[in-house]
């Protein structure tokens, strides 16, 4: 199922090592709030046609929350999960058929609180094989979206909006790609990752 070629495999191995080191060296910001629901997502990355890609999903109009939004695969913690990383992996399997044994988890990003729902989201970064035979759950996911990292860091992709809330300036991120907009908690998670990715791969 994995067929990215020798060169691509070698490049991805080197990047994986640098990302894993970068993620392990930073101090993750944990948010503890008993009034919020714990949740987890996976930020899946892969190497395809000489580029790094991130996989997103577009939620359906029939889900309870975050209708039609572009997101990372994931969801709320279940008691049987044991850990939040297991939550992210279970949700990946349920939503897009990405099995846990196909994911190499590299580390964690800072927790994020959703603005329109009561979740604390713990994001995990993982490398996935490409190509892969996904099985989309049509109830939750309308489609899988592939976005090259080069496009996300390209000129004109990112737009910022700053509002003052309770006396504090709060910046929101909006990533534009081929007529789509990535915003909200997903954009804040993405912004975190892109900064780490840039530092881990610069001058390499």
Give me the CATH code for the 5-201 domain, please. 3.90.79.10
**Residue 163 pLDDT greater than 70, yes or no:** yes
- Tell me if residue 147 falls in helix, strand or coil: strand
**Rounded-to-integer distance, Cα 131 and Cα 150, Å:** 19
CA atoms within 13 A on the CB side of 64: 4
Domain ranges of the chain: 5-201
Question: pTM for this structure?
Answer: 0.91
Report the pLDDT value the prediction gives residue 79, as an integer from 0 to 100: 93
How confident is residue 63, by pLDDT bands cut at 50, 70 and 90? confident
Burial class of residue 96, CB neighbours in 10 A (0-12, 13-18, 19+): buried
Neighbours of 84 (CB within 10 A): 21
**Residue 39 pLDDT greater than 50, yes or no:** yes
Closest CA to 58 of 48, 39, 76, 72: 72
**Residue 1 pLDDT greater than 80, yes or no:** no
Report the pLDDT value the prediction gives residue 125, as an integer from 0 to 100: 98
């Amino acid at each position: 199922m994995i067929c990215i070629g020798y060169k691509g495999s070698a490049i991805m191995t080197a990047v994986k090592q640098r990302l894993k080191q970068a993620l392990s060296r930073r101090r993750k910001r944990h948010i503890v709030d008993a009034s919020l629901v714990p949740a987890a997502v996976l930020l899946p990355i892969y190497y395809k046609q000489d580029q790094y890609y991130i996989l997103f999903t577009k939620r359906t109009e029939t889900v309870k929350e975050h209708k039609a939004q572009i997101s990372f695969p994931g969801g709320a913690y279940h008691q049987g999960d044991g850990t939040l990383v297991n939550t992210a992996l279970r949700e990946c399997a349920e939503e897009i058929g990405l099995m846990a044994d196909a994911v190499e988890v590299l580390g964690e990003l800072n927790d994020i609180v959703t603005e329109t729902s009561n979740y604390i989201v713990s994001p995990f970064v993982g490398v996935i094989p490409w190509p892969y035979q996904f099985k989309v759950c049509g109830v939750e996911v309308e489609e899988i979206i592939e976005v090259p990292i080069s496009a996300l860091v390209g000129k004109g992709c990112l737009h910022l909006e700053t509002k003052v809330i309770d006396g504090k300036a709060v910046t929101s991120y909006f990533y534009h790609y081929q007529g789509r907009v990535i915003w909200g908690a997903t954009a804040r998670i993405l912004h975190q990752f892109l900064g780490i990715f840039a530092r881990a791969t610069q001058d390499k």
